[in-house]
Chains A and B, each alone.
Chain A
Amino acid sequence: DTAVSQTPKYLVTQMGNDKSIKCEQNLGHDTMYWYKQDSKKFLKIMFSYNNKELIINETVPNRFSPKSPDKAHLNLHINSLELGDSAVYFCASSPGQGEVETQYFGPGTRLLVL
């Protein structure tokens, strides 16, 4: 029944490793997003995908790469992890770009880089 799900919920890893976070939505939404929320709780948009096309790509390091195998999935791959990547990563989805465009968030993935 979970609308937006993410795995894993917790991820502890060493600097320099490569990791992936998976996101799936069963709402039939057209747009999916990845956000980073740092220790100051500021939500920063990283990417969004609309019908498998990247429509927002904020100035994030190219170590981060979104991959969308289909409309219901948007995975986040991170290469060469750094200490500063430690944060909570939220996946979200929305129906499209209509009038009232609420975003539905997944539970978050807490990434700790040691």
Chain B
Amino acid sequence: GQNIDQPTEMTATEGAIVQINCTYQTSGFNGLFWYQQHAGEAPTFLSYNVLDGLEEKGRFSSFLSRSKGYSYLLLKELQMKDSASYLCAVRDSNYQLIWGAGTKLIIKP
């Protein structure tokens, strides 16, 4: 079967750095996405990786290792507004998006 694993919840301090991991087992791979979802709102796109390595976008970076079936989202200089759920999703060989259950990130002052 297809599976995406992420930690259920993480806590970090304002101004710090946090890394949210995602491991996946899917039938084929056509890219990995990270989405952010604030409570009561819709998911919004953060990043996309299809090749191995690090993609940097301001305070957010996403890393991919296809051989390990592993990705992480790195958030730097955390702000209170970063408190949200972070969803990892993998596009399989049929171009279907397989979603993880999300990691709820709690930022403390």
Chain A residues within CB distance 8 Å of chain B: 40-45, 56, 90, 97, 99-108
Q: How far is the CA of A41 from the CA of B84 in the complex (A)?
A: 12
Q: How far is the CA of A102 from the CA of B57 in the complex (A)?
A: 16
Contact A107 B42 (CB under 8 A): yes
How many contacting A-B pairs (Cβ < 8 A)? 44
Contact B43 A90 (CB under 8 A): yes
Contact B31 A101 (CB under 8 A): yes
The number of chain B residues with a CB under 8 A from chain A is: 21
Of residues 12 through 71 on chain B, the ones whose CB sits less than 8 Å from some CB of chain A are: 31, 33, 37, 41-45, 48, 50
Decide yes or no whether B72 CB sits under 8 A from chain A: no
Interface of A: prevailing SS: loop
Q: How far is the CA of A43 from the CA of B50 in the complex (A)?
A: 21
In the complex, the chain B residue whose C-beta lies closest to that of A97 is B95
Q: How far is the CA of A45 from the CA of B43 in the complex (A)?
A: 14
Q: How far is the CB of A77 from chain B (nearest CB, A)?
A: 21
